[in-house]
Chain A
């Protein structure tokens, strides 16, 4: 059914649709009259549909490959057969022990993926749940992401935050309740240990982590070596100034956080694909990173 749908749509495939849609959202920022909620909602549906198709094809391909030797966690409970109905994460995924390897980090090739949680409310993304330990729910291993669940010792840490690592610029950014913290620093001392052969920078965060132990477990790797800490007074100030966004203004930024948190996974695909010579439009995916960052920055 999916292949037939692609043919019916003509020349455009899922990836082009995604980049077109993100471009539309981005340009809607500068249109007169402000963000058109209705139009952006419709565009987000297209994004969701295209993303489902794209991810399902990826799953299908990955399914056909032999599993990698060092999968750090069990294979998904829900078998992926046919067009995957992206069901809820199996419960085991939520209880990742805060062990040496945060989820998904450091793997050059993501194993068969846990489907991101998805339910009939298409825009529901667990990007900003109020309870502390859960923000990890939505990450699939390929999404180099840490919502802080690996560090339950920091309770105030993950209230409604999503931290993403942009593979283009290797900057960790944080979206907090829909608002972007200045991305000159991250507050998650998440250390994704670099995959073999992959250089990665990160900026362990100051701010409220000032009191914390600076040698956070560098997740089993020596990743902390040689990276300077960039204290960022701006960020602390930002948090002071914007404790609670006005309820009606937050709608737009929440929409944006949906896109930011939902589609950075596609950015991470670029890494995996290029290593395996996959013919996926690298350009479209590369531009995705810039777009998602732009959107999250909104």
Chain B
């Protein structure tokens, strides 16, 4: 089935290309903004790189809207918690954009402990003709000033500057795994392993704790929060997923502390699949609302599931991402791959879902036609502007010519982070330290 699909994708750019892989360059999050004009990436070194889509021009139709670097800044630095003798990694765990309300762009970026609000703005004019200081900025002697003039704005080369506008610190004891902007655009939440806090963008020294699952005795700990997201339209509703494979939907109108859920989504475990690693592979690594707000999608180690908010006892759709790994769980446990946290994304119309896998493969599932495809993000196997060829993993028996066998998969090449343009068929795929952007083929 996979090989029949014409994917019609162009590999349009290879950005942040390095022949060596330094750990700091490993991309840790990818996110389009609400219009799709900007694409932000965060990496393990604490940097944020923002790409901007070129305006389409009639002169160069084949360069339809390519993404180029727009701004780069250091968002987080490594820190040291002296009280606990712990190093705090600068790795950017998540980036979330705020909707644009003026000429500047705003985004939230977070590491394990601190969330920051960044303002990214353009400057293309510069004031000249100050009275009290000269062009170099040195103060002039007031006694030397004989005339007064009005400073004027003169054009300059475009400069994009990023400034930290708010720093939301010291609210999380455990590692932050998610941030989510509320649809009221006034608040957002940050979630760590055991708690979720609600913030107001204007207030940095306080946050409300809305979920706390820390047990009184830590020895009774059985699950942690793995991801959380606000409903796209209802500002009182959010979901959070757990390491036990459950999702809870909470309503902030019900009580101040949302420890008691309004809805509880859980699929009963299939006892025939029980293994040493059942708990690990059922841990949910990502949860995403559909754009419609009607569905949620969850990713665990081997599957992607789509849930209807109105049905709590089982998902409405389950997609096997790489079920051939089920017999390899032991080795994947040994090399720590079983702990990889894959993300999942919806397309703009909620008809296709996408998630990553190993060997630089990523998978797309069409919910309507029930067709799926495996594609590869790699330079060796596709040239720019070439159409991506569907890939297939051979599970056993005879391997056909273009197939790859499970044992030859490269587990160090994993695609954990992907993003889909909010309205067009443009996807961004992070493969270790490389970012690939794919578009639908023109005509």
Please give the residue numbers on chain A whose beta carbons come within 8 Å of chain B beta carbons, in ascending order.
5, 8-12, 17, 20, 24, 32-34, 36-39, 41-42, 45-46, 49-50, 53, 121-125, 127-128, 178, 248-251, 254-255, 257-258
Contact = CB atoms under 8 A, between A and B. Distances in A.
Interface of B: 81, 84, 86-89, 91, 112, 173-175, 177, 193-194, 214, 217-224, 226, 243, 274-280, 283, 327, 329-331, 333-334, 336, 339
B339 A34 contact: no
16 contacts: A5-B274, A9-B275, A11-B330, A17-B276, A33-B87, A34-B88, A37-B175, A37-B193, A38-B224, A42-B339, A45-B279, A46-B276, A49-B276, A124-B219, A254-B217, A255-B218
B224 A8 contact: no
Nearest to A34: B86
A41 B333 contact: no
A255 B217 CA distance: 10
B317 to A, nearest CB: 26
Contact of B277 (A32, A46, A249, A254): A46
A123 B218 CA distance: 9
A8 B277 CA distance: 12
Nearest to B336: A24
Contacts of B86: 33-34
Given A42-B279, A45-B280, A258-B219, A32 B330 contact: no
Nearest to B341: A38
A50 B86 CA distance: 31
A32 B89 CA distance: 7
Contact of A34 (B87, B91, B243, B336): B87
Contacts of A46: 276-277, 279-280, 333
B244 to A, nearest CB: 10
Nearest to A27: B336
Contacts of B91: 33
Q: B interface, by DSSP: helix, strand, loop or mixed? A: loop
Contact of A37 (B87, B224, B339): B224
A124 B220 contact: yes
A254 B330 contact: no
Contacts of A10: 327, 330-331
B218 A42 contact: no
Contacts of A122: 222
Contacts of B217: 128, 254
A152 B226 CA distance: 44
Contacts of B84: 34, 249
A251 B194 CA distance: 11
- Top 8 A-B residue pairs of the complex, sorted by shortest distance between their CB atoms: A45-B279, A33-B89, A34-B86, A251-B218, A254-B218, A49-B276, A248-B173, A37-B193
Q: Which of B88, B222, B226, B331 has the most CB of A within 10 A?
A: B222
Contacts of A42: 243, 279-280, 283, 339
